[in-house]
Structure 1
Amino acid sequence: MSTQRYAVGRNGTKRILRDGEVLRDGESVLVSMLAKDGAIRKPLAMMTDAERQTMRDSVKGMPLSQAAALPIYDAVRGGVMSGRSAPEHYALIDGAQPDRTAAQDRADAYRDGYVDRLSMAWRA
């Protein structure tokens, strides 16, 4: 995640603030955070409860890898819970769908075929 810092003057004009540059009298700093995809994300501390709940509701049905990257899980990032990373654990609790591998898909297809053959075996 990269950050862009702007100096905002009293009259509302913005200019890019370089590293080590001193603010002029009356200026304030505006920091916008840009994610890798170019989206501007609001820090978790700046979100309202309604925004957090909306983001948490959007997790339902989302792939686990995408859901765990959301900013609502920034507070637990780096931790481990139940053998998984903490953001993945909480995303699963909020309704994210686990990422499936090709091996899991093959195992499910084999199990389904086995159950079908087993249910037809008594008819033969």
Structure 2
Amino acid sequence: MQEEPQWDPYSKACPTRRLLDRIGDRWTVLVVGALAGGPMRYTALARRIEGVSQKMLTQTLRALERDGLLVRTVHPVIPPHVEYELSTLGRSLLPVLGALERWAIDNISGVLAARDGYDRD
């Protein structure tokens, strides 16, 4: 039996580092959060995630699909109807990213106060 590789995200050559970059990207966090409630079409995602450009949303969706975190389904109608939804792997991120989102909401006041204090000094 082959032994599992020893992954080390602190090593620059380790693929886990690129995965952490993907997961830590702000657009990834927002796309995964937006899809938590179920499948969405591109335009609905773009409306939900204010400020994301068409280019960044498209790149993020493609990267998440490539990494197996979401599934793109094309329905054969005219015009084509495309939906995006989290895969099982992508859904496993929800507790982690949900905790990060909750932390940001719960702590933004303290962070803003710290920034004000830093900027005054």
Query: Fold conserved (TM > 0.5)?
Result: no
Give the TM interval when normalised to the shorter protein. under 0.3
TM score, norm. by length of structure 2? 0.25
TM score, norm. by length of structure 1? 0.25
Q: Higher strand share goes to which structure?
A: 1
Q: Higher helix share goes to which structure?
A: 2
Higher relative contact order (CA 8 A, sep 6+): 2
